[in-house]
Structure 1
Amino acid sequence: MIVELQENISLGIFVLVAEESLFIGGPLFDTSLSWIISNDEELIVSDSSTDLALFLDLPISKTALALNLIHSLPYYPFQTLSLWENVNTIQPFHILKYSADKKLEAIQVWSPPALVKEVEPIYLKIRERLLKILSQNIVDYSELSADLSGGIDSATIIYILKALHADIKLYHAEADSKWNSDSKWAKLISNDLNTSFTSFPSLGSSGKNFKIDIEYSNSTLPDSPLLWADTEGYVESIAESAEKPAHTTHFTGLGGDELFTPMPSNAWSLVRQNKLRSVDLGLRYCLLSRTPISIGISELINNVSFKDALQLEIDRAFGYDNTSITDSTLNWCGPIIIPNWLTEPYRKSSYKVLTNALHDTTGALDIDRSRHQIIESLLFQRRLVNQLNKIYETNGIAWQAPFLDIEIINHSLSIPARYKQDPNLTKPILYNATKGLVAKNIFTRGFKGDYSTGLYKSYKEAVKGYTQQIKKFKLVEWGIVDADILISELSMPTALHSRIESFERLAAVERWLRVAMKKIETSNE
């Protein structure tokens, strides 16, 4: 019954009363369930840590704010930590069991599926599930819309909807660089389907990723900073364009990249899933990646556990371990980089929280590195869709990501890594699952458009506008960010990508903090 509930709800939480216990959970791949045990030993639960904190007048966790400033920190198991003191959040794929004797325990209810030997039946199951999900939303009174980015995932959803004879509105954000061919592909797809689409300004011109003094749409405070604020202007345009918001479903291709594109550590998985060909695959990896054989083989045979590898990365980042190790895309995660402007007290408290959180976790999301990376990224995409639905719920629009459906996830995860690579196709698994429904030329495009032009421009404008205001940032006033070091770093003429990402994250956290403080002040009046 719990599995049935989790597979059939997309938002909120459920409470199942069974004899002398309560079972509390949310949708699979959702980590929004939060709880606290009050002074009266009452269990209080919510699908929003923010709502829970405001209801109980709880303070913001300064260390959690500091952790959110580290943009290179792996999403799992750290980014699910609540931004509020004393609020607990559920670990992925767990539910709560609350017994009559007030004993509380978390129970794992999902684990990744086993790999299959025959993939053709799985392609068929993915196809059937996509058709079922999308056909369920085609009703007479509904208004359907979808992203038409020019990429494969959004195009696949649109082609299937058109095959189901759906009347659908298409939306596209114009590319901000002449080298980006996404807009060209979007027009080709709309012409092929004989469906017009509405073009909005480029993401670079409408994004809010460096805005710190603005409210979130509908005066909503999300549980965590918006890490998709670069597309926030585009999303708001979609919400404003709906003619019948209360009956509108908008489709997005989120989750497609994770399920159908090779992850960074894909070569590591290939070697282990193809034992008899491991030597040949290892040599091919070295050749294609232009990695010296001695280094490449060493990376491929590396079997360091998730917890040990991540602890080493944490120790290196905070200066507690000087071990010389080679950064590799085949590792569990990339290197963790601590911003120079994070103050010493919060470096220490952040290190302590990270170490404790890693100690408490059971380990990787999967023993296979690439599947771990897939699941970790899907968890983030699930959070993004939840934020969309919660922020715009008053508009009535339902945001759906078909590729985040649990059945499609299970089917896709069961396909061995080697089927994700084809010299003639991009996303061959998705191509084989939708053959005959989606035009083949959609899968022969060699690359996705680049959006760095708008990011660099927005960064430079933000630096110019904020340099004189930094000492008034709340994060500075709270002693989390060193204003002098930050100002010095922003004054450097070279805009390194890592520096831009760090400042983008800082702006997102600063904005969340300002809105949260206003909410607290309002609730206390």
Structure 2
Amino acid sequence: MHIISTSAKGGTKQLHCRALDNDSGVTIIRNAGEMVVSVPFLSGYSLYWAVLNGEIHVATNAAAIAKKATAKIDDGFLAASLSPNIPFPIAEAISPWQNIRRLPAAKQLHIDSDMRIHECWECSHATVSQVHDEPLTGIRSRLLQMADQYARRAESISIDLSGGLDSSATAYILAARGVSFEAYRFAADTIFNDDASIASHVMADIGVSAESIAPLSQHSKAFDAASPYPNAYQADQPIYWSDTEGYVGWLADRNDSTGDGRIHLTGLGGDELFSPMPAWPWSVLRERPWQAISLIRLCSRLGGMSLGSAARALLNSKSLHSSLKASIANACEVGAVHGVAGDWHEPFLFPRTLSAYGREVLCEKLHDVLSGQRLQPLCNDRSKHQLLCSLAMQSRILRQANAMFGAHHIEFTSLFLDPAVICHALRIPEHRKTADKSIMKSILEGIVPDVLFARQEKGDYTTSLYRAWAYSASTMLADVYDGILVDKGLINRAYIERMSSMPSPPTSFLFEMQRLAATERWARNVQ
């Protein structure tokens, strides 16, 4: 945490900043008599601030400020945490604590010598204009360069090898540079998931063995609502990737026995960089207006709407803020939610786990965010805005994993979340992106076999989720019913009891319960 104050010397006011701890995520720059405070975009951090006793406290973890201010957890934040499809720009502006501000991604705090505070938007993707190489060539060169850098920097390297395209590509890139590495893959929870067999094929092709570990369901903490975070970690918000947290911890513990400085590579970010985003038709229409008729027909068919409705959806030019206000108003006021092809975001839906009070405080919080500022997109192109939003969430996963397990001398990262790779990828025209990642195929031609791109479907991990639910349901429900969220009146207990009594509840309910467990666990840990 950093504390900013002012003093007067010789009639001139000066700003001062002192650090109370090693909060390396905060960037503070002096500029023309003011201080500009921010966190690097795609660092995985959020910036929190509050004014206490005439001084401005800033930190990347609101808990540090909350302890000093004796702040309480915000019920609106808890309700929002239960809602998986709150649009990213809104979710990023909701603080976990009362009376502590949270800056959305790509926003800066400007403080002048009179201690006046202004929140200003920055252009998070401004570095794109500084990249002059052809984007596909630039991505290929950078990926190979990073493999060389990791080999020089780390004592050992390991990778996830799920059998998916992104993790397989990572393995082939390392092999192409002669980098030695260890690979880990899950045993499949079901014979209908062929990821494990594809992972075995990749390893045989490269000539490296992969260690098969217990199925994902046996490591999962997806429905853990009560246990402390490992290594006394203080999470600034819930751990939504808890289904793989046990596996990440297993990797960290395993590395502890060797004491190596290890880099562990994941495939995070590959889908976002090389696959079409939901707003793809809207973006392609702006790039290739002569394809309007085919794009309108495509949206009509996929969205189940008339040709006229599809045309209006693709031609709409609403701002992000206006679109968010309309979607939230529909959900909160009339309960009607309509998806619009090519919109900035998916339509907002209330999770059924929320009580009437939970819906009320969430609506109030959403309206507060939208009325208190005009939210700006991360890019004027809707697909690239969505890409950056999703990459920011992937970056947070890595940052949380490293903060939680970094003491074990292991660093979790991904080739596809490298800033230079992202800058190049932002220059790829949207019309070149296809569901089979043909753009990645072009980038990695001669490195990754073409046959890997012929796969039509991703591996199905719903069996892992159902098995984890079977292992943990009774314990989780007992913890939740005796927990903070129920005590605050945020939970629709009748709905949970009805659905959990089913022999095989729908997958959507299990995802709701995973989110609920993560939120309850966070509240217990910080309180």
Q: AA paired with 2:450? A: K
The aligned counterpart of 2:512 is 502
1:191 and 2:204 aligned: yes
Which letter does structure 1 place at the counterpart of 2:411?
A
What is the 5 A alignment of 1:365-380? 365-380=378-393
In structure 2, list runs of 5 or more residues that go unmatched.
Answer: 1-22
Q: Distance in 1 between matches of 2:65 and 2:209?
A: 44
Q: Which residue of 2 aligns with 1:237?
A: 250
Assess, with a 3 A threshold, how the Cα gap between structure 1 residues 469 and 389 changes in structure 2: closer, same or farther.
Answer: closer
Specify the alignment match of 1:83 in structure 2: 96
Residue pair 1:239, 1:245 contacting (<8 A) in 2 also:
no
Task: Assess if the C-alpha contact under 8 Å between 2:220 and 2:243 holds in 1.
Answer: yes
Aligned to 2:452, the other structure's residue is in SS state helix
Once the two structures are superposed, the pairs formed by residues 353-364 of structure 1 within 5 Å of their partners are 353-359=365-371, 360-364=373-377
Distance 2:304 2:76 in 1: 41
Deviation at 1:237, TM superposition (A): 1.6
Question: Is contact 1:115–1:414 with CA below 8 Å preserved after alignment?
Answer: yes
Please report the RMSD computed on the Cα atoms of aligned residues, expressed in angstroms: 2.8
Aligned to 1:345: 357
- Alignment partner of 1:170: what SS? strand
Match of 1:255 in 2: 269
Q: Match for residue 523 of structure 1?
A: none
Shift of 1:288: 7.0
Alpha-carbon shift at residue 157 of structure 1 (Å): 1.8
Q: 1:416 & 1:141 partners in 2: Cα distance?
A: 35
- 1:104-119 superposed matches below 5 A: 104-112=117-125
Question: How far, CA to CA, are the matches of 2:303 and 2:494 in structure 1?
Answer: 41
Residue in structure 2 matched with residue 312 of structure 1 by the alignment: 326
Q: CA deviation at 1:354?
A: 0.6
Secondary structure at the aligned position of 2:150 is classed as coil
Which one of 103, 106, 116 corresponds to residue 93 of structure 1? 106
* Shift of residue 446, structure 1, vs aligned partner: 1.9
Q: Which residue of 2 aligns with 1:520?
A: none
Confirm whether residue 264 of structure 1 aligns to residue 271 of structure 2.
no
Contact 2:310 2:341 in 1 (8 A): no
Percent identity between the two aligned chains: 28
Q: Residue 115 of structure 2: SS of its match in structure 1?
A: coil
- From 136, 140, 159, the equivalent of 1:127 is 140
Amino acid at match of 2:141: E
Whole-angstrom CA distance in 2 between matches of 1:234 and 1:470: 24
Residues 44, 398 of structure 2: 8 Å contact kept: no
Per-residue deviation at 1:140?
7.0
CA displacement at 1:155 relative to structure 2: 1.7
* Structure 1 contact 152–442 (Cα < 8 Å) conserved: yes
Residue 393 of structure 1: SS of its match in structure 2?
helix
**More displaced 10-residue stretch of structure 1: 465-474 or 426-435:** 465-474
- The answer to whether residue 288 in structure 2 is matched with residue 274 in structure 1 is yes
**Residue 206, structure 1, aligned to residue 219, structure 2:** yes
Deviations 1:415-450 (A, max 9, x none): 11111127xxx2122222222222222222222101
Q: Distance in 2 between matches of 1:70 and 1:434?
A: 37
SS of aligned partner of 1:44: strand
Determine if contact 1:35/1:46 at 8 Å carries over to the other structure: yes
TM-score, with structure 1 as normaliser: 0.87
Aligned residue for 2:134, secondary structure, equals helix
Gaps of 5+ in 1: 1-9, 518-525
Kept in 2, the 8 Å contact 1:113–1:414? The answer is: no
User: Could you say which residue in structure 1 is the equivalent of 2:12?
Assistant: none
Give the direction of change, closer, same or farther, for the CA distance of 1:419–1:74 in structure 2 (3 Å limit). same
What is the aligned residue count? 502
The C-alpha deviation readout for 1:110-163, integer Å capped at 9, x for no partner, is: 2446999x9982111111221222221212762111111111111222211122
Deviation at 1:345, TM superposition (A): 3.5
- Structure 2 CA distance, aligned partners of 1:307 and 1:219? 38
